[in-house]
């Protein structure tokens, strides 16, 4: 069977057009692709395109959009050999991670891409990213959610937007690239996920369920309490220092964390560093978090931890189940500790 790809356009710079208020999502992306890539199309896999309605600037994305996107992919899953998701770059890493956890056991490629400059512009990175994504989506050995951006093929749940302006905007600081696009598309076959049996989980998300709390020198317990006391909050990603250290000498702050844990709030410890992860137990300060029941988040990116915790909460898992499931590697998102 020759490859047929479904492109799901969600919005983002790649398909934006100028408006009186600045660049804004605009319908009609398929016609624009067919016009701008006319010369290349005969050499590319055939595709159909559907658009999210309404299209969004990904800065406006909520976890509820993940449900809509995954529903659309699931509804069309059997009819296509691969999928391309065109998405704004701002929250692309969150969506790629969320899809990797929702579409577990994927046995076809789902390639997420976007661009820093819109396709309509004379000089743009959209053409290159789109062409790469379409070609990757036709490679059956890719059986996972990946990101294609500026010649890099990255695991979706390891991807981070690392540059606001450069065209090489994405990287995976804690995992090797899955491949790169030069004269040829080179995939690191040993690094690819095997693909098992699709076992999709597409729950309804509550955007209020998860918050991110970044520590900073002099942070006050009152601020921490205010965050932890938000209505509907059930999970918190604590961005601590280095290998996972909080200001443990701030007893009021530590007590606020302990009180939230006792109320059933799940807290996951992540590093603020852009590379590496939480080792837990190296320093007395970090060990204090583990002692009170904070879950070490290993080398999960903020995006992946956010999506995974949201999914576990949306699936109505208990705090004890989350304690077991969060540190497990489901689809390459973290490096397990032995
Ligand atoms: N604000 C845009 C978005 O994320 C930025 C982009 O696509 O590069 O939708």
Contacts of 303 (CB under 8 A, 6+ apart): 93, 94, 96, 97, 157, 159, 160
Pocket of ligand 1 (CB under 6 A): 11-13, 57-59, 88-90, 114, 116
Q: 17 C-alpha vs ligand 1 centroid, how far in Å?
A: 12
Across 119-146, average pLDDT = 98
Predicted pLDDT of residue 148: 98
- Domain limits, CATH 3.40.50.40, in the chain: 210-325
Strands 152-155 and 145-149: antiparallel
Q: 88 C-alpha vs ligand 1 centroid, how far in Å?
A: 4
- Domain limits, CATH 3.40.50.1170, in the chain: 4-200
Positions marked active-site: 13
Highest CATH level, class, for 210-325: alpha beta
Beta bridge partners of 51: 9
Residue nearest atom 3 in ligand 1 by C-alpha distance: 88
Q: 58 C-alpha vs ligand 1 centroid, how far in Å?
A: 6
Residue nearest atom 7 in ligand 1 by C-alpha distance: 88
Question: What does the DSSP assignment read for 85-126?
Answer: EE--STTHHHHHHHHHHHTTT--S-EEEE--SS-TTSSS-SH
Q: Choose one of 14, 25, 59, 62 to mutate for the ligand 1 pocket test, by most ligand atoms within 8 angstroms of C-beta.
A: 59
Q: Quickly list H helices, the chain.
A: 29-36, 63-75, 92-102, 126-137, 221-228, 251-262, 284-292, 302-314, 319-325
Taking all residues of the chain, what is their mean pLDDT, rounded to a whole number?
Answer: 96
Predicted pLDDT of residue 338: 61
Task: Work out which ligand 1 atom sits closest to the CA atom of 13.
Answer: 7
- The band of 135, judged by pLDDT with boundaries at 50, 70 and 90, is very high
Residue 1 clears pLDDT 60, i.e. is over it = no
Across 194-206, average pLDDT = 92
Q: Which residue is it, tokens 């696009």?
A: 181
Q: 117 C-alpha vs ligand 1 centroid, how far in Å?
A: 9
Share of the chain above pLDDT 90, in %: 93
The three-class DSSP label of residue 150 is coil
- Give tens-digit pLDDT for 144-173: 999 999 999 999 999 999 999 999 999 999
Q: Choose one of 16, 23, 52, 114 to mutate for the ligand 1 pocket test, by most ligand atoms within 8 angstroms of C-beta.
A: 114
Is CATH 3.40.1390.10 the classification given to domain 4-200?
no
Residue 72 clears pLDDT 60, i.e. is over it = yes
Task: Work out which ligand 1 atom sits closest to the CA atom of 169.
Answer: 8
Contacts of 250 (CB under 8 A, 6+ apart): 219, 221
Q: Choose one of 57, 69, 117, 150 to mutate for the ligand 1 pocket test, by most ligand atoms within 8 angstroms of C-beta.
A: 57
Predicted pLDDT of residue 296: 95
Predicted pLDDT of residue 337: 74
Q: 160 C-alpha vs ligand 1 centroid, how far in Å?
A: 14
Q: 119 C-alpha vs ligand 1 centroid, how far in Å?
A: 13
Across 180-188, average pLDDT = 97
């Amino acid at each position: 069977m020759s490859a047929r790809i479904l492109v799901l356009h969600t919005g983002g710079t790649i398909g934006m057009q100028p408006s009186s208020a600045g660049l804004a999502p605009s319908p009609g992306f398929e016609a624009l692709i067919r016009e701008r890539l006319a010369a290349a199309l005969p050499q590319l896999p055939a595709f159909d395109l559907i658009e999210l309605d309404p299209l969004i600037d990904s800065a406006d994305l909520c976890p509820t959009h993940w449900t809509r996107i995954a529903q659309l992919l699931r509804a069309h899953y059997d009819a296509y050999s691969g999928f391309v998701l065109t998405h704004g770059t701002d929250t692309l890493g969150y969506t790629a991670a969320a899809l990797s956890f929702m579409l577990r056991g994927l046995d076809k490629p789902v390639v997420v891409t976007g661009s820093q400059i819109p396709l309509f512009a004379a000089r743009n990175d959209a053409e290159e990213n789109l062409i790469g994504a379409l070609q990757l989506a036709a490679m059956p050995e890719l059986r996972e959610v990946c990101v294609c951006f500026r010649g890099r093929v990255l695991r979706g749940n390891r991807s981070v937007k690392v540059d606001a302006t450069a065209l090489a905007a994405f990287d995976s600081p804690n995992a090797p690239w899955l491949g790169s696009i030069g004269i040829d598309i080179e995939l690191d076959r040993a690094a690819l996920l095997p693909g098992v049996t699709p076992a999709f989980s597409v729950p309804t998300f509550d955007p209020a369920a998860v918050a991110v709390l970044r520590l900073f020198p002099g942070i006050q317990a009152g601020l921490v309490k205010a965050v932890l006391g938000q209505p509907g909050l059930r999970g918190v990603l604590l961005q601590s220092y280095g290998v996972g250290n909080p200001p443990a000498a701030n007893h009021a702050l530590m007590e606020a964390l302990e009180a939230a844990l006792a109320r059933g709030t799940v807290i996951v410890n992540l590093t603020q560093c852009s590379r590496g992860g939480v080792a837990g137990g190296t320093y007395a300060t970090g060990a204090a978090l583990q002692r009170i029941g904070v879950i070490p988040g290993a080398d999960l990116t903020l995006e992946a931890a956010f999506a995974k915790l949201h999914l576990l909460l949306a699936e109505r898992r208990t705090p004890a189940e989350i304690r077991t499931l969060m540190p497990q590697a489901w689809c390459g998102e973290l490096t397990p500790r032995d």
